[in-house]
Amino acid sequence: MNVILAHWKDGTTSIYSSLVSFCGHHPQYKYERLVYYLTRKKVNFEDDWVIVEKKKIQSGVQKFPCASCEVPAECIDLEYCPKKLK
């Protein structure tokens, strides 16, 4: 899944779910031009006011290891920790 980050030169950052959403809020930026930069050239778009970047985000729950046994996922709940069950 991707999001669009707009880093404004005044120091603020905005996040959008898609380029269509960004262009809807900021009609001075043309969708086709941003697609060319972000998708085809795979570089950030930058002008005098903003830097626009496409960022991949991870969806879902990340599984961290149990603190007591270093086994991932299954023993997140210590009640089911394999080390504890032995």
Supply the range of the domain harboring residue 12.
2-56
Residue 74, in any domain of the structure: no
pTM flag (> 0.85):
no
Residue 17, in any domain of the structure: yes
Residue 86, in any domain of the structure: no
Contact 11, 27 (CB under 8 A): no
Q: How many domains does the chain have?
A: 1
Residue 80, in any domain of the structure: no
Residue 78, in any domain of the structure: no
Q: The domain that contains 27 carries what CATH number? A: 1.10.10
Residue 79, in any domain of the structure: no
The predicted pLDDT at position 1 comes to 86
The per-residue pLDDT for range 9-56, each reduced to its tens digit, is 999 999 999 999 999 999 999 999 999 999 999 999 999 999 999 999
The per-residue pLDDT for range 48-86, each reduced to its tens digit, is 999 999 999 876 655 655 555 665 555 555 555 555 555
